[in-house]
């Protein structure tokens, strides 16, 4: 890394300071009761959604943290084997426009108290679905409120279109056999890209196959490439300056997804001449599902010039599905930050906490504790990387002195044929 980047790295490192303030009382009520005041039902209520949480002390860093709206405000604790376990104070059990506005107000209170100035969203997470025109109208109304609330400081790190949850996308949004679905997906991406944000992410939740017996893989990949070409053209047409990102994932929900891992995505981009127009958004839990470590995926993206954004989470090594847990392992965080430092940072992208509370975690304060602990873990990883860099500053004169002192080195056997228990 160039000298100035190292100096900048150490300058920012010295500014890292995370402080968790313990609230009193330790837990917050989850029932809204009747104390919310006028305007609650219309989504215009301006009271506090997290009254028991004080503002977290501000920090300075170079990691550009972001909160994932879908996990933080749409996560219910439900899983394939169990019903939802939590409903936050702002919730009324509906997916109305008024409810969407209350969630957005809660989101910005959360960001302010957490001291984070970026957030990420799917279009259908922040506004209710409907007919094409109704969906666009709902989205416009909620986005207008978000822009009013975010002021000049808070910004979306990235946005995306949710092209996987609705039944219309069960065969894929860009790779399915239905032209009408393909057109609907294009309309949805067009609208989502117009909403603004520092970057834009594509994640193909159903862009893959269950069996090759009824799949024309080449044709589907061609269609996906044409969709990306159209997105590049529209980005340039509207003057969108953000980075287009692809988020690799190997499986779940499909048996095989076309963006299996960083190497597969890089090969796809290179084959279709898109390598200069995209970067990758690496998610650590997706890396483990593909049989790799997060560090491997970050390095694969980096050496291909594609490391853009990181969805900072982790999975449980004893669970074979996408658990989206907060990253708490300092060793893993050190390796993550090593790739980031080698990459010269991530800006104008960053770290998105694409992570959720476990099913058993039901207190409002847990949202704050989890995010602060995740930030602390990455900060400690960054400090460890600084020590590694300092430890590697030996010059030739020093190394020559050590060679003279130590004499001929003893080269040990690799023991390649020895079975080590």
Q: Which of 10, 71, 122, 286 is catalytic?
A: 122
Q: Which of 72, 20, 29 is nearest to 367 (CA)?
A: 72
Q: What is the CATH number of the domain that holds 191?
A: 3.20.20.150
Does 399 reside within a domain? no
CB 297 within 8 A of CB 336: no
Does 264 reside within a domain? yes
pLDDT reading at 19 higher than 80: no
Does 421 reside within a domain? no
Per-residue pLDDT of 267-325, as tens digits, reads 999 999 999 999 999 999 999 999 999 999 999 999 999 999 999 999 988 888 888 99
Does 138 reside within a domain? yes
State the pairing for strand pair 65-68/118-122.
parallel
What's residue 336's pLDDT? Answer: 95
CB 197 within 8 A of CB 219: no
Number of domains forming the structure of the chain: 1
Query: Based on the number of CB atoms within 10 Å of its own CB, is 98 exposed (0-12), middle (13-18) or buried (19 or more)?
Result: middle
State which H helix or E strand residue 66 sits in: strand 65-68
Domain encompassing residue 262: 3-28+62-393
pTM higher than the cut 0.85: no
Q: In this structure, is the dihedral angle defined by the CA atoms of residues 345, 350, 352 and 353, taken in order, positive or negative?
A: positive
Q: Which of 298, 393, 301, 280 is nearest to 338 (CA)?
A: 298
pLDDT reading at 89 higher than 90: no
Does 378 reside within a domain? yes
CB 9 within 8 A of CB 341: yes
CB 315 within 8 A of CB 277: no
122 is catalytic: yes
CB 87 within 8 A of CB 37: no
Does 54 reside within a domain? no
What's residue 273's pLDDT? Answer: 97
Cα 58 from chain centre: 22
The DSSP letter of residue 380 is: H
């Amino acid at each position: 890394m160039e000298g100035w980047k190292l100096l900048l790295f150490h300058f920012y490192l010295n500014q890292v300071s995370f402080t968790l303030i313990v609230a009193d009382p330790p837990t917050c009520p989850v029932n809204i009761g009747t104390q919310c005041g006028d305007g609650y039902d219309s989504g215009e209520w301006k009271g506090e959604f997290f009254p028991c949480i004080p503002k977290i002390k501000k920090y300075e860093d170079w990691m550009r943290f972001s909160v994932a709206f879908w996990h933080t405000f749409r996560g219910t604790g439900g899983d394939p084997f169990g019903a939802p376990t939590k409903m936050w104070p702002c919730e009324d059990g509906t997916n109305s426009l008024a409810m969407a506005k209350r969630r957005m107000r809660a989101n910005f209170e959360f960001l302010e108290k957490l001291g984070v100035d970026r957030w990420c969203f799917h279009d259908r997470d922040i506004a209710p679905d409907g007919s094409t025109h109704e969906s666009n109208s709902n989205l416009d109304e909620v986005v207008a409120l978000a822009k009013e609330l975010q002021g000049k400081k808070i910004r979306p790190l990235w946005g995306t279109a949710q092209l996987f949850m609705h039944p219309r996308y069960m065969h894929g949004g860009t790779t399915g056999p239905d032209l009408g679905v393909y057109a609907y997906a294009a309309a949805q991406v067009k609208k989502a890209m117009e909403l603004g944000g520092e970057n834009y992410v594509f994640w193909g939740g159903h862009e893959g196959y269950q069996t090759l017996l009824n799949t024309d893989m080449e044709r589907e990949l061609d269609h996906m490439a044409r969709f990306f070409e159209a997105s590049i053209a529209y980005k340039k047409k509207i003057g969108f300056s953000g980075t287009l990102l692809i988020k690799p994932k190997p499986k779940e929900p499909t048996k095989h997804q076309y963006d299996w891992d960083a190497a597969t995505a890089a090969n796809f981009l290179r084959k279709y001449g898109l390598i200069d127009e995209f970067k990758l958004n690496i998610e650590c839990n997706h890396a483990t599902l593909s049989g790799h470590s997060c560090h491997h995926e970050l390095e694969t993206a980096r050496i291909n010039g594609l490391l853009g954004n990181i969805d900072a989470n982790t999975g449980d090594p004893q669970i074979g599905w996408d658990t989206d847990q907060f990253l708490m392992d300092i060793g893993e965080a050190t390796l993550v930050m090593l790739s980031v430092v080698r990459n010269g940072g991530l800006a104008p992208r960053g770290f998105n906490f694409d992570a959720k509370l476990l099913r058993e975690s039901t207190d409002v304060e847990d949202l704050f504790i989890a995010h602060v602990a995740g930030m602390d873990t990455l900060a400690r990883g960054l400090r460890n990387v600084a020590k590694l860099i300092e430890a590697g500053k030996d010059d030739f004169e020093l190394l020559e002195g050590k060679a003279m002192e130590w004499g001929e080195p003893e080269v040990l056997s690799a023991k390649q044929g020895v079975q080590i228990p």
